[in-house]
Structure 1
Amino acid sequence: MANVVELAVVPPPLRSDWTPPPASGKSISPLVSGRLLPAGPAYLAHVKRAVHKLSFEEYDKHAAEEQKRIDALHGNGAEIEDDLGVGDEEETEDLLSLDPKEWKKQDHYAVLGLSHLRYTATDEQIKIAHRKKVLKHHPDKKAGTVGDSNDDAFFKCIQKAMEVLTNPERRRQFDSVDPYYEELEQEIPTEKHIKSVKNIDEYFFKTFGPIFEREARFSKTQPVPMVGGIDDSKEAVESFYEFWYNFDSWRSFEYLDKEVNEGSDSRDDKRYTEKKNKSERARRKKEDTARLRSLVDLALSVDPRIKRIKQQEKAEREAKKKARSGQNGVDAKQKAEEEKKKAEEAAKQKEEAEKAARAEAKKAKAAAANAAKKARRAARAAADADGGDAAAA
């Protein structure tokens, strides 16, 4: 709810030497008493200063900042740093001599002075650049000027560039075949050249970082994983290459379609042209997919992180193998000792059994000898007894 502040309006006192003017003698209207209400920008400014207890300097500073904020919000004002030089790029002779009939071959971003922004240019920046170009190259401003006979043609190029870049679908088609990036696509280094570089770690990220950043603009899935750094984990590296090997691109090539001949009403001509355009789009799409796959293959083959990860995995395998070997050695030694101990116990038991068997055999032999001795004695005694009986008879 708004607060109402009543401010007393006190007029300044009269000067000490003031005297009322002499009566003119003319008839005047009767005096009417009325109430005056303070209003207007000056009074509102006075109220704001009084309520917020601001000085004139503080109020002026606050008002300037507020106006600047409003201008920035609505894109107004010539002094705000909103366009950052948009539309002020140098215009070469080749650019000014473009033929508007060959509008498909022209660089629309360069025509509007947006070469440094290209696909990152916002709709507001495109409008600002177009407004600047129109003010500079409108035919009415150049009428009667010597040496500007082609300015009308360039103005048509400006209008065509504005028409293409303000239509989201047509702009996407143009971005798919932007001539500036098509030249950069041909400058990919070879594997042989990369492997000959001394500092491969620094060169890889410096070279492939911008390349994948440019290609990322065609991805249907956002955000897109970038190259990263030399210390990335195995999971991050595998995720990066998995994404790019399954890259889903929206890039299309309708912008390069051949137009149907003007004035031709033949449906056969239209069908033939459409069929040929479709075939060409499919061919270009296939070639672009193969190009991107080759780029990812190249990056994978020279990525210094892959070598580092393989070395780490090899070291881990060797460590595990060594640990297992050490454990197996301990187990084998322990097993050998146990077997030796068992063999010794078995040999001892065998020796004791043999000793006991020998003792038993010795006892049995002694008993047999005693029995034989007793038998011989008994036989001799019997023989002696039979001899004595015979003699007596």
Structure 2
Amino acid sequence: MADEDLAAIERMVAMMELKERELVREKVHANFASLRIAWTPGAIENGATSAVYASNAGVHVDGGSMKEFAGHAFHERAREKLGLSAVCEKKLAKAASLAALDEAAMDDDVDFNSPEYKMKKTKRRGNKEFGDHYGALGLALKRFNATKEEILERHRFLTVALHPDKRGVAQVSAAEAEKIEQRYKAVVTAMEVLTDKNRRREFDSVDAPEYNFPTECEDGDFFATFMPSFHLLARFSETKPVPICDDPDAEWDEVRKHYIFWAAKFSSWREFPHEKENDTETAHDRDHRRQMEKENKRLRAESKKKEQQEIRRFVENAQKYDPRVIKQKAAEKAARDAKKLGRTDSARALAEEDAKKKAEEEAAAKVAEEANKAKKADAKKELEKAKKALRKDKQRVRAIGAVAEGWVDYPGDAELESICDALTVDHADAVKAACDAAMNGDEVKGAWDAVACILSLAVTAKGGDWQAKADEHASRRAEREASEKVGGAWNADETAELEKASKQLFPLGTINRWDSVAAHMAAEGKPRTAMDCMVKARSM
């Protein structure tokens, strides 16, 4: 950059600062001179030349309403109305700054060809074009270091200075008018992009210069070779501030923190637009936009992964050639060697004691390991024993099921197998107890006990609705036993009606056969339970 350009920039900045200070001084001093709320000579104390005090009168606030301020609120309100409070001074300073920008915007001598307004060529990444937004706002020299406040101020200034009406778009040729319109649109677009966090990051990623990480360096050139890359990467860090230790004489603790951050904590937000990306601005709706963003993220992931690998290799190479790291490793090695060579007899004895203690601990650990192995072997044997017993008990369950087959509440052979499959070693005790309750030795006590056994195992293995079925079976059994106690013998008419119902009306294979037979018997005036009907029919 030429010295004349730098001098012109410095003069412009100095002029704007001078105008700002003059406006603030004029406003604040004028209000300070009128600081007189109310005073009388009789209210002066301790020889003071004047006194400021408040009356009970209300203070006019915005909108014309009357509000009474008291205490600190009154004093702060009075100072604010006079432009003397800290809050008001900030407002005055901001107003003065904006006024200075307005005056500069009205100055036709502003040089839009100066270096700060110089715009780079448009870059293209995939299906997107990236103009120089910083140059459009006169921030070409600051670029990614520009703050949001600076961007907004430059936008406000340039929307006035470059407005087509102010530039006389109606009095120029069509080609010149197009240039004026495009320049104004560049300012508007730049503000939209640079005030949006994600869009600015994308632009800064493309705007950053291309670079290659160094992999090695000559002796004495480490800081000139590697450190610029650290500073270049710092702009993309999610964490701020970024610790960069580029002092050759820095303490080892600072160097260690530097490499801990870059090796483990550094996270880059840099984006890598892909040539096949979708333009989210063309999305039909929110879902379409979300789908596009997801696809774009997938396309960028490969470049992002490549960048992470390059940064990791770069940091490893930096540690390899950093003279401070080399010096520290040499010092640590020298200390270890000195300690090894300088051992005294007491140190050797201590080492022998440590070795002995370690051997004892290893022996104890070995004994514990053997005991643990034996314990596991015993547990395995017990498990196999339990599995074998369970298999035998499952055979007993199937034998019990054969006796219960065809009886009311019996779930069926297929369900019985499902129940057996669901029974595990954890149910072994319950299975044995249920089988013992249903059998006398190797013989099943009876169909009632067999069905009860099967249902109890179903409750144990599966739970759920099986408990209700078990309760219903118990109720049927109680009714049967009560009926037998009463001594309800079958007469010839009942037997004939039962034979008709079981063989003609509800033959074998009918769904809920015995419930239907019992209902028919009740309808004929000969009430009997389903179990009574089944037992009598099988004995005929």
TM-score band, normalised by shorter chain: 0.5 to 0.7
Match of 2:318 among 281, 287, 299: 299
For the structure 1 residues 268 and 315, does the alpha-carbon distance in structure 2 shift closer, same or farther, using more than 3 Å as the test?
Answer: closer
Match of 1:5 among 33, 36, 39: 39
TM-score, scaled to structure 1: 0.52
Deviations 1:47-79, CA, capped at 9 Å, x for gaps: xxxxxxxxxxxxxxxx9xx99975434443418
Using the alignment, how far apart are the partners of 1:320 and 1:293 within structure 2? 34
Verify the 8 A CA contact 2:243 2:261 in the aligned structure 1. Answer: yes
Whether the 8 Å contact between 1:208 and 1:227 is mirrored in structure 2 is no
Aligned to 2:336: 317
- Give the 3-state SS of the residue equivalent to 2:342 in structure 1: helix
Unaligned ranges ≥5, structure 1 = 8-62, 332-393
Aligned to 1:231: 249
- RMSD between superposed Cα atoms in Å: 4.5
1:173 and 1:209 mapped to 2: Cα distance? 25
Q: Number of aligned residue pairs: give it.
A: 254
Relative to structure 1, the CA distance from residue 98 to residue 130 in structure 2 (aligned partners, 3 Å threshold; closer, same or farther) is farther
Match of 1:221 in 2: 239
Aligned partners of 1:86 and 1:129 also within 8 Å: no
The code of the aligned residue for 1:199 comes to: G
Change (3 A) 1:205 1:142: farther
- Pick from 127, 141, 159: which aligns with 1:116? 141
Task: Tell me if the contact between 2:116 and 2:139 (Cα under 8 Å) persists in the aligned partners.
Answer: no
Q: 1:76-115 maps to which residues of 2 (within 5 A)?
A: 76-78=98-100, 89-92=115-118, 104-115=129-140
- Could you tell me which residue of structure 2 aligns to residue 280 of structure 1? 299
Q: 1:300 to 1:142 in 2, by over 3 A?
A: farther
- The alpha-carbon distance between structure 1 residues 76 and 92, as it changes in their structure 2 partners (threshold 3 A), is closer
Partner of 2:220: 199
Residues 5 and 215 from structure 1, CA distance in 2 versus in 1: closer, same or farther, beyond 3 angstroms? same
* CA distance, structure 2, for counterparts of residue 321 and residue 93 of structure 1: 65
130 and 76 in structure 1: CA distance in 2 versus 1, 3 angstrom threshold:
closer
1:162 aligns with 191
Residues 68 and 142 (structure 1), Cα distance of their counterparts in 2 relative to 1, 3 Å cut = farther
CA contact (8 A) 2:136 2:186 kept: yes
Structure 2 partner of 1:334: none
Q: Which runs of 5+ in 2 are unaligned?
A: 1-35, 42-83, 103-109, 349-540
Give 3-state SS (helix, strand or coil) of 1:104's partner.
strand
Cα distance between partner residues in 2 of 1:221 and 1:319: 41
**Aligned-partner SS, 1:138:** coil
Normalising by structure 2, report the TM-score: 0.39
Distance 2:111 2:248 in 1: 37
Cα distance between partner residues in 1 of 2:89 and 2:239? 38
Please list the CA deviations of residues 111-139 of structure 1 after superposition, one character each: whole Å capped at 9, or x if unmatched.
21212222321222112222333233322
- Alpha-carbon deviation of 1:150? 1.9
Distance change (3 Å), C-alpha of 1:254 and 1:213: closer
Shift of 1:299: 1.2
Q: Aligned to 1:172, which of 183, 201, 217?
A: 201
Matches within 5 A, 1:307-386: 307-324=326-343, 327=344
CA distance in 2, matches of 1:271, 1:76: 40
Of 129, 133, 137, which aligns to 2:154? Answer: 129
Matching residue within 148, 172, 194 for 1:145: 172
2: distance between equivalents of 1:302 and 1:77? 54
User: Which residue pairs with 2:520 in the alignment?
Assistant: none
CA shift, 1:247, in A, is 3.0
Distance 1:273 1:227, change over 3 A: same
Match of 1:258 among 252, 257, 278: 278
2:172 maps to amino acid: T
Q: Distance in 2 between matches of 1:310 and 1:166?
A: 47
Q: CA 1:297–1:108 in 2, change beyond 3 Å: closer, same or farther?
A: same
1:139 to 1:4, Cα distance in 2 relative to 1, 3 A: closer
User: Which residue is equivalent to 1:47?
Assistant: none
- Contact conserved, 1:258 with 1:273, CA < 8 A, in 2? yes
| Corresponding residue for residue 390 of structure 1 | none
User: Could you tell me the percent identity over the aligned residues?
Assistant: 32
Query: 3-state SS of the aligned residue for 2:155?
Result: helix
The one-letter amino acid paired with 2:203 is F
Give the deviation of 1:246 after TM superposition: 1.4
Shift of 1:300: 1.2
Preserved CA contact (<8 Å) 1:253 1:285:
yes
- Tell whether the 8 Å contact from 2:117 to 2:140 is kept in structure 1 after alignment: no
Write the letter of the residue equivalent to 2:39: V
